[in-house]
């Protein structure tokens, strides 16, 4: 399953490495020791999920059809121009973040506006390319990867009832992880 997801991303000019890079840069703001390989493993686990695969495949085909100009109006215009009030691109992306809980959802919203790395590159829609779905899908994959890391770091720490949360743990990374 993972191959079909990775293949669809590549077809649209997104390498799994680019997504790992964005996730890894953010994770290292709090945990400088995080390795690229560790981030990659978490992303690969996310890409193995059936709902994630189907969200990617569905978004990719809609981007491709809009790029080819073959969708019926007014859908063609809405997707090709990345109409701000279209909204189905974000809806599809939340089907990825939902699996990883509320931490993932707000992180997605942040990335979707901030557009770091490959997310921003996609959003620039250069040379007639349409990435209306892809930028949200990639933001969702990054958010899901980070949430998966956080949940697993917390599980490792193991302490639920006495979590010593400090003031700067607000952004979603557990304090044990930032030390």
| Site residues, a copy of itself (CB under 8 A) | 1, 4, 50-51, 54-55, 57-58, 61-62, 65, 71-75, 77-78, 81-92, 94-95, 98-103, 105-110, 112-114, 123-125, 150-151, 154, 160-163, 165, 167, 169-174
8 A C-beta contact, residue 173 and residue 30: yes
Instruction: Answer with the entry of a copy of itself, Ca ion, none that 91 interacts with (C-beta below 5 to 8 A by kind).
Output: a copy of itself
Q: Least Å distance between CB 168 and Ca ion?
A: 15
Residue 136 is a binding residue for Ca ion (CB under 5 A): yes
> Alpha helices of 12-133 — where are they, by DSSP H?
16-28, 36-47, 50-68, 75-80, 88-97, 101-114, 117-123
The Cα 5–Cα 103 span in angstroms is 23
The answer to whether the peptide bond before residue 74 is cis (omega within 30 degrees of 0) is yes
Instruction: Answer with the entry of a copy of itself, Ca ion, none that 132 interacts with (C-beta below 5 to 8 A by kind).
Output: Ca ion
Residue 132 is a binding residue for Ca ion (CB under 5 A): yes
């Amino acid at each position: 399953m993972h191959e079909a997801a990775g293949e669809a991303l590549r077809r649209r000019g997104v390498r799994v490495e680019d997504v790992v890079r964005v996730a890894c840069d953010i994770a290292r703001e709090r945990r400088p020791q995080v390795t690229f390989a560790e981030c990659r493993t978490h992303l690969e686990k996310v890409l193995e999920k059936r709902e994630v695969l189907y969200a990617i495949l569905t978004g990719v085909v809609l981007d491709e059809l809009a790029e080819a100009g073959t969708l019926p109006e007014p859908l063609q215009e809405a997707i090709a121009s990345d109409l701000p009030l279209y909204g189905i691109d974000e809806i599809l992306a939340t089907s990825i973040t939902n699996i990883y809980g509320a931490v993932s959802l707000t992180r997605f919203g942040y990335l979707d506006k901030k557009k770091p790395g490959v997310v921003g590159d996609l959003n620039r829609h250069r040379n007639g390319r349409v990435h209306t779905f892809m930028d949200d899908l990639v933001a969702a994959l990054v958010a899901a990867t980070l949430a998966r890391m956080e949940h697993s770091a917390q599980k490792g720490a193991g302490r639920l009832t006495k979590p010593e949360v400090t003031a700067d743990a607000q952004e979603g990374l557990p304090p044990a992880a930032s030390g």
